Amino acid sequence: MQTIHTIVDLRLALQGQHSVALVPTMGNLHAGHLDLVKLAKQQAPCVVVSIFVNPLQFGANEDLVNYPRTLAADCEKLQAAGASMVFIPTVAEMYPDFDGQALNQSITVQLPAMADDLCGASRPGHFAGMATVVLKLFNAVMPQFAVFGKKDYQQLFVLQQMVKQFNLPIAIIAAETVREPSGLAMSSRNGYLSQAEKSQASQLHAELQALCEKIKGQGPKLDFLALEKETVLKLESQGWHVDYVAIRTASQLKPALVHDSDLVVLAAAKLGTTRLIDNVSLKL
Catalytic residues: 33
Pairing of strands 20-25, 46-51: parallel
Q: What are phi and psi of 208, to 5 degrees?
A: -70, -40
Q: Please, which residues have CB within 8 angstroms of residue 161's CB and are 6 or more apart in sequence? A: 112
Are 50 and 87 spatial neighbours (Cβ–Cβ below 8 Å)?
yes
Least CB distance from residue 15 to ligand PAF, whole Å? Answer: 24
Of 35, 152, 207, 243, the residue at the interface with ligand PAF (CB under 6 A) is 152
Q: Count interface residues toward ligand PAF (CB under 6 A).
A: 10
Establish how many alpha carbons lie within 13 A of residue 162's alpha carbon, considering only the half-sphere containing its beta carbon.
26
Of the pair 54, 200, the CB lying nearest ligand PAF is at 54
Of 4, 21, 24, 41, the residue at the interface with ligand PAF (CB under 6 A) is 24
Q: Does 83 bind ligand PAF (CB under 6 A)?
A: no
> Of the listed pieces 21-29, 73-81, 92-100, 172-180, which binds ligand PAF according to CB under 6 A?
21-29
Are 245 and 203 spatial neighbours (Cβ–Cβ below 8 Å)?
no
Residue nearest to ligand PAF (CB): 24
Q: x/- string (CB under 6 A) for ligand PAF, residues 33-52?
A: --------------------
Of the pair 136, 205, the CB lying nearest ligand PAF is at 136
CA 242 to CA 281: how far, in whole Å?
A: 20
Least CB distance from residue 76 to ligand PAF, whole Å? Answer: 19
Q: How many CB atoms lie within 10 A of CB 92?
A: 12
Crossing angle, helix 71-81 and helix 31-43, to 10 degrees? Answer: 40
Of the pair 156, 212, the CB lying nearest ligand PAF is at 156
Of the pair 175, 250, the CB lying nearest ligand PAF is at 175
Of the pair 152, 207, the CB lying nearest ligand PAF is at 152
Which helix (H) or strand (E) segment holds residue 33: the answer is helix 31-43
Least CB distance from residue 94 to ligand PAF, whole Å? Answer: 10
Q: x/- string (CB under 6 A) for ligand PAF, residues 120-149?
A: ----------x--xx---------------
Least CB distance from residue 156 to ligand PAF, whole Å? Answer: 9
CA dihedral (239, 244, 245, 246) in degrees, to 10, reads 180
Q: Could you give the angle at the alpha carbon of 236 between the alpha carbons of 235 and 237, nearest 5°?
A: 90
Q: What are phi and psi of 157, to 5 degrees?
A: -65, -45
Q: Does 54 bind ligand PAF (CB under 6 A)?
A: yes
CA 111 to CA 118: how far, in whole Å?
A: 14
Of the pair 85, 133, the CB lying nearest ligand PAF is at 133
Query: Using CB under 6 A as the criterion, which residues of the chain lie in contact with ligand PAF when the complex forms?
Result: 24-26, 54, 57, 130, 133-134, 152, 155
